[in-house]
Each structure stands twice: as structure tokens, then as C-alpha cells.
């Protein structure tokens, strides 16, 4: 098990509660990107590469009643969340067309997907997390049929600092400083990181063998409530750092963070971040 899959196994429920709803609107837009290919098809096969809690896979199963949907993820814990959501929220006919698969987006064939078997692959907020994005893009291209499309969205280069994240960082650094402790390293293992621009995304797709590539830079916006912002950092995003601290220090960091949140103006809870979205096709010769 990789460090990344272990992180998501541990935080699967908090991801579903704190983070998946925030990402959902930007993720769902990928279905509009593949609609011209998938919508008219008689029995399209769709791959959600890095399905997480299943947002895109479930939406695809509902949207296209003739589609077979494969939902792939490296984390068994995340797949369990997606499976529970599918079992409880999909109609029986929709659920029957959804397959949940454990595997790496860089090698979907190893998870049971045959080469040249997928009409459209979508991937939301995943390809910045993989250790080797070039390998992931090549792996996804291999499972597309000739003429098949990949569409993805990731974070772009970092935008302006967010006051809520700065408040957490200061609470952590100052509290640990008083306790004589070092700030713990980020959790999750190595990752390829954001894509800096639409031009960079187009270049990466071409390097992986995709044709007719396009990319654009949508804006991400979400207004957090104070309770929602606290939960994001304490229960999900920075929970691994907090869990590694002595209990008293952990409580002091959270208390300092809550105080800082209380001092922020309402406008500080609006989060705006740059994204890069892109699509490319597998050529007729693969």
C-alpha cells in the first residue's frame, strides 16, 4: 500500500463529508466535456480514474442510461465509501452498470481494464496527486479505444494565499514553537503537483501521445462557513499533522485555530483558486 492510498484509507469518511461536496461542482463539469462523445453512443464505456467517493462515477451512471461505468481508485477505503453511496443512492438499473475497481490510474490494465476498451475517461482532482503524471496519462491513453477521450481537471499553480489556511499554519507553527516541537512534514507521499497553465496541460497530453488536445483555465470558487472551514482542516486536510502531536499540543493548536477563525471577517471564508481542465483523444493508431 502506498503512502497516498494509506492516507485516503484513513481519511475516507472525512473526505466524503468535508471535501467531496466542495469539489463536486467542478468535477461534474467534466461530464459536459465528454457528452458529445458519450451521449450519442449506443453503449459507451466510461472510466472514472481516481473515483474517490464516487462523485463522477455515480453521476455518469445516472446521466447516461446505456453507459457502463468503471470507477477506479487506489484506496480501498475510498472505494468502500463509493460503494456505499452507489448501493444507497442509485436505482438498481444504474447500480448494475457501475463496477468499482481497485487499482492505480497509471496501470488501469492491472485492475482488469482491457486495452482499447474505454470510450471516455474522466479524472477530477487526481492527476496532481500521482507520483508520475506522464505514466498516468500514458496508462489512461492505453485503455481508451481509438478515438476515445480523456478529460480531467486539476489544481493549477498556487493562487493567492487563503486567509483560513494561513490561520491554521500560524496556529500550528506558533503553538509548536512554544512547545519546542518541529512542524511535521506534509503527509501523503510524493506527488506530481499542480499543472501551471493550460499550455502546460496541452504539452503534457501531447507528450503522452494524445491528439486534438485542448485545455482551459476555469475558476474555482467556494464560500465556506466557519464550522465547515474548521472541519476541513481539523478533520481532513491537516488531520494527519494534528494526529501526530501530543494530545495537549493538538488541543492547543485547534484552540488557537478556532480563535483565529473567530477573528476573520466573513469575506475571508471565500476561497478562489485557479484550475486547469483539459481533454485529448487517442489517435486512430493508438
What band does 286 get if pLDDT is binned at 50, 70 and 90?
low
Domains and CATH numbers, the chain: 3-158+187-223+272-282 (3.40.50.150)
> Per-residue pLDDT for 159 more than 70?
no
The b-or-e profile of 49-80 (16+ CB within 10 A means b, else e) is bbbbbbbbbbbbbbbbeebbbbbbbbbebbbb
> pTM value?
0.94
> Per-residue pLDDT for 1 more than 70?
no
H runs (alpha helix) in 90-162: 92-95, 133-143
In sequence order, what are the beta bridge partners of 151?
122, 279
Q: Which pLDDT value is given to residue 217? A: 96
CB neighbour list of residue 191: distance below 8 Å, 6 or more residues apart:
4, 128, 129, 130, 131
Percent of the chain with pLDDT over 70: 98
Let me know if 47 is exposed, middle or buried by CB neighbors in 10 A (0-12, 13-18, 19+): buried
pLDDT digits (tens, 9 = 90+) for 73-130: 999 999 999 999 999 999 999 999 999 999 999 999 889 999 999 999 999 999 999 9
Least Cα distance to 148 among 126, 121, 122 occurs for: 121
Question: In terms of pLDDT, which residue wins out, 6 or 49?
Answer: 49
Query: Are the C-beta atoms of 174 and 256 separated by less than 8 Å?
Result: yes
> Per-residue pLDDT for 189 more than 80?
no
> Per-residue pLDDT for 243 more than 60?
yes
What band does 186 get if pLDDT is binned at 50, 70 and 90?
confident
Amino acid at each position: 500500500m502506498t503512502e497516498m492510498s494509506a492516507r485516503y484509507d484513513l481519511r475516507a469518511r472525512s473526505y466524503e463529508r468535508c471535501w467531496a461536496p466542495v469539489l463536486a461542482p467542478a468535477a461534474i463539469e467534466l461530464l459536459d466535456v465528454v457528452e458529445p462523445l458519450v451521449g450519442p453512443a449506443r453503449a459507451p464505456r466510461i472510466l472514472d480514474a481516481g473515483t474517490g467517493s464516487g462523485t463522477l462515477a455515480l453521476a455518469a451512471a445516472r446521466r447516461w442510461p446505456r453507459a457502463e461505468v468503471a470507477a477506479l481508485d487506489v484506496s480501498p477505503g475510498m472505494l468502500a465509501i463509493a460503494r456505499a453511496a452507489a448501493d444507497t443512492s442509485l436505482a438498481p438499473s444504474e447500480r448494475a452498470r457501475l463496477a468499482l475497481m481497485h487499482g492505480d490510474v497509471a496501470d488501469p490494465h492491472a485492475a482488469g481494464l482491457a486495452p482499447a476498451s474505454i470510450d471516455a475517461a474522466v479524472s477530477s482532482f487526481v492527476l496532481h496527486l500521482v507520483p508520475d503524471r506522464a505514466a498516468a496519462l500514458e496508462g489512461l491513453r492505453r485503455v481508451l479505444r481509438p478515438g476515445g477521450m480523456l478529460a480531467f481537471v486539476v489544481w493549477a499553480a498556487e493562487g493567492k494565499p487563503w486567509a483560513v489556511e494561513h490561520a491554521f499554519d500560524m496556529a500550528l507553527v506558533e503553538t509548536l514553537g512554544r512547545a519546542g516541537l518541529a512542524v511535521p512534514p506534509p503527509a501523503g507521499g510524493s506527488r506530481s503537483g499542480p499543472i501551471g497553465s493550460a499550455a502546460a496541460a496541452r504539452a503534457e497530453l501531447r507528450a503522452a501521445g494524445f491528439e486534438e488536445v485542448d485545455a482551459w483555465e476555469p475558476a474555482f470558487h467556494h464560500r465556506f462557513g466557519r464550522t465547515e472551514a474548521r472541519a476541513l482542516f481539523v478533520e481532513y486536510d491537516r488531520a494527519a499533522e494534528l494526529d501526530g502531536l501530543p494530545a495537549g499540543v493538538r488541543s492547543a493548536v485547534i484552540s488557537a485555530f478556532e480563535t483565529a477563525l473567530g477573528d476573520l471577517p466573513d469575506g475571508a471564508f471565500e476561497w478562489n483558486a485557479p484550475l486547469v481542465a483539459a481533454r485529448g483523444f487517442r489517435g486512430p493508431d493508438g
